[in-house]
Amino acid sequence: MYPVRGNLKEDVLVKFLSALFSISVLTLFSSGCTTVVIDEYRRSSGELAVGDSVVILGRRHSSDYETEPDLIDCVGKTLHNPSAGVNVIPERQFVDALYPWFEPRTAPMHIKSLDKLMDIPDVRDRMAEYGVKYIVWIDGSTETTSSAGSIGCSIGTAGAGCFGFGTWDKESDYEAAVWDFRDQELSGKISADAQGTSYMPAIVVPIPLIARVQNNACKGMAAQLQEFLLPPQSASR
């Protein structure tokens, strides 16, 4: 009698563990659908040379949204590739090193405003020290545009569980303006529009199928920026 009971318990345990494992794997590898559209307007070709640096900065002057610091961080980290010739200075480090000239209130809004900034010898020296060739200003945000469905969870004597279905749409809209700092001109603009729908079916356990909208916009923008900033012969490396 006892051995049979033991086997039954083991069977249930094995089934439960395998179900849990399947759910975990499903969650890890599944995600909602995302579409990304990248547009480019180019006025001049990239001219990054050895020792040159790129600064990626977020615009923060708008009152109703803020370009997310994690998006700027993501684009910077994805783009940073010294072996390919792209050296990115982290946003926080650069903004601190040139305090207070790149704060939301004082940052130059147009490339012509750089003239005034360069009249300050210490600022000029600091920029030269960093080898800044391009300043990339990213403006925009990711927002949840709509959501539907509902999920209910309950705890009872038989156990706990959730049932229902939820869905939500996210939309990213970013524009990157590339300033050639040395030639004091606008080199071009890149826009990234991404949208995706995330789903959350819940049958006892909620299974999130997340559309990584902001992350996909970041990767699309970083890939396009790399192509944009490097001279044609280096880009083929």
Partner 1 sequence: MNRLLNGIGAIRYFTLVALAGLLAACAHTVSVDGEFPAPVGDPHPLTVGVYLSDDFRQFTYSENRDDRDEWNIDTGRAQKNLFETVLGSMFQETINLAQYPSDLPQGLDLVIVPEVRELQFTMPRETRVNIFEVWIKYDMHAYNQQGESVAEWVITAYGKTPTAFLKSQEAALAQAINVALRDAGATLYTGFERVPELQALIANKQRALSMKQTGSDK
The residues that touch partner 1, with contacts defined as CB under 8 A, are 60, 64-66, 68-70, 96-101, 103-106, 120-123, 126
**Position 10: which residue type?**
E
Q: How far is the CB of 77 from partner 1 (least distance, A)?
A: 15
Q: Which is nearer to partner 1, 77 or 126 (CB)?
A: 126
Q: How far is the CB of 215 from partner 1 (least distance, A)?
A: 13
Q: Which is nearer to partner 1, 10 or 96 (CB)?
A: 96
Q: What's the token pair of residue 114?
A: 């750089």
Upper half-sphere CA count for residue 135 (Cβ side, 13 Å): 23
d(C-alpha 15, C-alpha 11), whole Å = 6
Q: Which is nearer to partner 1, 142 or 187 (CB)?
A: 142
Of 80, 71, 70, 60, give the one whose Cα is nearest residue 225.
80
Q: How far is the CB of 121 from partner 1 (least distance, A)?
A: 7
Burial of 84-114, coded b for 16+ CB within 10 Å and e otherwise, reads ebbbbbebeebbeebeebbeeeebbeebeeb
Distance from the first to the final alpha carbon of the chain:
71
Q: How far is the CB of 156 from partner 1 (least distance, A)?
A: 28
Q: How far is the CB of 54 from partner 1 (least distance, A)?
A: 20
Q: Which is nearer to partner 1, 131 or 161 (CB)?
A: 131
DSSP β-bridge partners for residue 201:
165
Q: Which is nearer to partner 1, 65 or 165 (CB)?
A: 65
